[in-house]
């Protein structure tokens, strides 16, 4: 993570990012905001409080003269995994916190916002400016997590309630094409000239063999063919750990799909409806992505292959739309036209780039400590906050994760 150029973020930008979190929480009741449906899911109100704690802990506590914590116990309740900062409440017990309620958390957010606006209105040094910028990107990550998590929460309700009304789309999936690349010696990673997380740095050379990348991600219709061909019943298609997960978890289709007579239904943030064969398949694990690629006589791209192609033709649209928080077919037949609807699994394990150095201080725990047992995803999704993702962005999840908005883009050797 590097100091952003141009000084501290503006008050207007700070308030815009913070207000989007409140806008995302607005359709939810107090009960909605308290539920934790599995250990990986955090309650909505916890996300709202944790993002406020981040600014209070790493910015206000260091750079706002005379600032006192809003509540002496909130540091314990809303620290996530920062061991160097102090003790914290167990992650899998966040849903047991009936108090503080959403009104108290709203007051906490308001108090932090007031103090931050006052700080940003004065003279802000480079270190503080860098931490504020980091805090805003951190909040954008939690905006996406808020949507991922509440989708899982609502999916557990037999009434299958909608998070909010959704506008449909009229796009059809373009025929899959292969974008061939000669490979060779290329450079990947962020150049450090604007904000980047530390795991995107440093920029470095990588040698690529000739390859081809699919022009779009795999569709639900294509995934249905995999299901109908016994894809979830054929151990020869699966990695050993993946097949164990299929057996243990009873996977027979992507998360949120369920059979209904001769059709499949899918639960979305707009409620349940029939699976649209033209939409990108979503909520599949790395194990499923890898098995599908093997079934399709292809493979998953490496993150360097993905970045090399997409950087040459950056995405021209942002998938985020509050009225349609669901993956849509790409708006053209170039690779870049379908980037940003689902996070795309790569074949690359999440490890450090050559020369990686974690950021100094407690925020150095942000990325580096997770560089094991995770796979890299690229591209962004329909629930990724506007302007947050970029071609060098390295998302990461365990290979069994299905609740993120994850999909598949194929690659092959040439």
Residue 317: its pLDDT value, please? Answer: 67
List, for residues 59-113, the tens digit of each pLDDT value. 999 999 889 999 999 999 999 999 888 999 999 999 999 999 999 999 999 999 9
8 A C-beta contact, residue 369 and residue 362: no
Residue 363: its pLDDT value, please? Answer: 86
List, for residues 170-207, the tens digit of each pLDDT value. 789 999 999 999 999 999 999 999 999 999 999 999 99
Residue 360: its pLDDT value, please? Answer: 81
Which CATH number does 11-155 carry? 1.20.120
Of 3.10.20.30, 1.10.10.10, 3.40.50.10140, 3.90.1580.10, the CATH number of 178-413 is: 3.90.1580.10
Residue 132: its pLDDT value, please? Answer: 97
| Residue written as token pair 């996530």 | 80
Select the more confidently predicted residue: 129 or 365.
Answer: 129
Residue 361: its pLDDT value, please? Answer: 82
Q: At what angle do helices 126-155 and 11-25 cross, to 10 degrees?
A: 10
Tell me the whole-structure pTM to 2 decimals. Answer: 0.96
Q: Where are the domains of the chain?
A: 11-155, 178-413
- 397 forms beta bridges with 375
| 260, pLDDT greater than 70 | yes
Q: Outline where DSSP puts E strands in 139-261.
A: 178-181, 184-188, 204-208, 211-214, 257-260
**Averaged pLDDT of the chain:** 95
């Amino acid at each position: 993570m590097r100091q952003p150029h141009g000084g501290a973020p503006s008050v207007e930008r700070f308030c815009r990012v913070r207000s989007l979190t409140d806008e995302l929480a607005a359709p939810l009741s107090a009960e909605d905001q308290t539920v934790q449906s599995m250990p990986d899911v955090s309650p909505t109100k916890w996300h709202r409080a944790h993002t406020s704690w981040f600014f209070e802990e790493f910015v206000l506590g260091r750079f706002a003269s005379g600032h006192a914590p809003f509540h002496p116990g909130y540091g314990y309740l809303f620290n996530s995994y920062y061991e160097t900062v102090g003790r914290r409440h167990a992650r899998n017990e966040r849903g047991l916190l009936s108090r503080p309620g959403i009104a108290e958390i709203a007051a906490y957010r308001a108090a932090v916002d007031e103090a931050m606006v006052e700080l940003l209105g004065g003279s802000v040094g480079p270190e503080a400016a860098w931490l504020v910028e980091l805090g805003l990107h951190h909040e954008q990550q939690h905006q996406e997590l808020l949507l991922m998590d509440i989708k899982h929460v609502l999916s557990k309700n037999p009434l299958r309630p909608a998070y909010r009304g959704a506008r449909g789309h009229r796009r059809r999936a373009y025929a899959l094409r292969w974008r061939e690349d000669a490979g060779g010696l290329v450079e990947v990673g962020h150049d450090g000239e604007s904000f980047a997380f530390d795991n995107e740095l440093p920029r470095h050379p990588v040698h690529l063999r000739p390859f081809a990348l699919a022009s779009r991600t795999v569709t639900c219709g294509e995934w249905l063919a995999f299901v109908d061909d016994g894809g979830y019943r054929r151990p020869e298609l699966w990695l050993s750990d993946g097949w164990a997960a299929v057996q243990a978890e009873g996977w027979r289709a992507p998360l949120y799909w369920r059979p209904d007579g001769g059709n499949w239904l899918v639960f979305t943030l707009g409620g349940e409806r029939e699976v649209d064969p033209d939409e990108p398949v979503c909520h599949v694990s790395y194990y499923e992505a890898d098995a599908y690629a093997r079934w399709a006589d292809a493979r998953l791209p490496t993150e360097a292959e993905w970045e090399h192609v997409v950087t040459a033709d950056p995405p021209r649209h942002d998938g985020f739309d509050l009225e349609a928080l669901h993956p849509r077919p790409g708006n053209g037949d170039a690779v870049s036209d379908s980037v940003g609807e689902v996070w795309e699994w790569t074949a690359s394990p999440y490890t450090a780039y050559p020369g990686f150095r974690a950021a100094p201080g407690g925020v150095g725990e942000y990325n580096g400590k997770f560089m094991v047992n995770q796979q890299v995803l690229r591209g962004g999704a329909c629930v990724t906050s506007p302007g947050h993702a970029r071609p060098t962005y390295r998302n990461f999840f365990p290979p069994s994760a299905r609740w993120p908005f994850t999909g598949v883009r194929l690659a092959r050797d040439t």
